[in-house]
Amino acid sequence: MTDTTHPVLLSIDDPSAVDQAVALLDGGQIVAIPTETVYGLAADATNGEAVARVFAAKGRPSFNPLICHVSSLAMAKSFADFDDLSLKLAERFWPGPLTLVLPLSRDHGIHPLVSAGLDTVAVRMPTGLSRHIIERLGRPLAAPSANRSGSISPTSADAVARSLGNAIPLILDGGPCAVGLESTIVKVEDGTVWLLRPGGVAADSIEDVTGGELKTVQSGSAVQAPGQLSSHYAPRAAMRLNAHAVHEGEALLAFGQDRAAGAGKALTVQNLSPDADLVEAAANLFAMMDVLDGSGALTIAVEPVPTGGLGDAINDRLSRAAAPRQTVPVNAVAS
Of 32, 31, 189, whose CA–CA distance to 100 is shortest?
189
> With respect to ligand TXA, which residue has the nearer C-beta, 53 or 197?
197
CA distances from 212 to 169, 204, 207, 209, 218 (A): 45, 10, 6, 8, 18
| Closest by Cα among 176, 178, 177, 172 to 12 | 172
Q: In angstroms, what CA-CA distances link 37 with 98, 125, 275?
A: 10, 11, 21
| CA 20, chain centre distance (Å) | 24
Say how many residues make up the chain.
335
- Mask 145-184, x = binds ligand TXA (CB under 6 A)? x------------------------------------xx-
Question: Nearer to Mg ion by C-beta: 141 or 260?
Answer: 141
Does residue 226 belong to the site contacting ligand TXA (CB under 6 A)? yes
Q: Which of 71, 115, 270, 273 binds ligand TXA (CB under 6 A)?
A: 115
What is the nearest approach in angstroms of ligand TXA to the Cβ of residue 201? Answer: 10
Minimal distance in Å, beta carbon 165 to ligand TXA? Answer: 18
Minimum CB–partner distance for residue 38 and Mg ion (Å): 8
**Dist. CA 263–CA 293, nearest whole Å:** 17
Contact between 70 and ligand TXA per CB under 6 A: no
Per rule CB under 6 A, is residue 99 in the interface with ligand TXA? yes
Q: 293 by DSSP, 3-state: which?
A: helix
Residues 6+ apart with CB under 8 A from 284: 180, 270, 272, 273
Report the residue number, 145 or 184, with the smaller CB distance to Mg ion: 145
Q: Which is nearer to Mg ion, 35 or 335 (CB)?
A: 335
With respect to ligand TXA, which residue has the nearer C-beta, 7 or 150? 150
| Interaction of residue 65 with ligand TXA, rule CB under 6 A | yes
Does position 299 bind ligand TXA by CB under 6 A?
no
Least distance between Mg ion and beta carbon 310 (Å): 18
Judged by CB under 6 A, does residue 85 bind ligand TXA?
no
Instruction: Candidates 145, 271, 284, 299: give the one binding Mg ion (CB under 5 A).
Output: 145
- Kindly state the smallest distance separating residue 334's Cβ from ligand TXA, in Å: 8
Instruction: Give the residue among 95, 90, 115 at the shortest CA–CA distance from 103.
Output: 115
CB 44 within 8 A of CB 29: no
Is there binding between residue 316 and ligand TXA (CB under 6 A)? no
- Check binding of 183 to Mg ion (CB under 5 A): no
Name the residue number minimizing CB distance to Mg ion.
Answer: 145
Asked if 144 interacts with ligand TXA (CB under 6 A), we say yes
Q: In which element (H, E) is residue 269 found?
A: strand 269-271
- Judged by CB under 5 A, how many residues of this single chain contact Mg ion? 2
Residue with Cβ nearer ligand TXA (30 or 301) = 30
Q: Can you tell me the distance from the alpha carbon of 146 to that of 161, in angstroms, rounded to the nearest whole number? A: 9
156 binds Mg ion (CB under 5 A): no
Among 150, 169, 174, 227, binds ligand TXA (CB under 6 A): 227
Give the helix ranges, DSSP H, for the chain: 17-26, 48-58, 73-77, 84-93, 112-115, 128-137, 157-164, 203-210, 278-294, 310-322
Q: Alpha-carbon dihedral of residues 105, 146, 12, 200, nearest 10 degrees?
A: 70
| Interface residue list for ligand TXA (CB under 6 A) | 35, 37-38, 40, 64-67, 97, 99, 101, 115, 118, 120-122, 124, 143-145, 182-183, 185, 196-197, 225-228, 335
| Interface residue list for Mg ion (CB under 5 A) | 145, 335
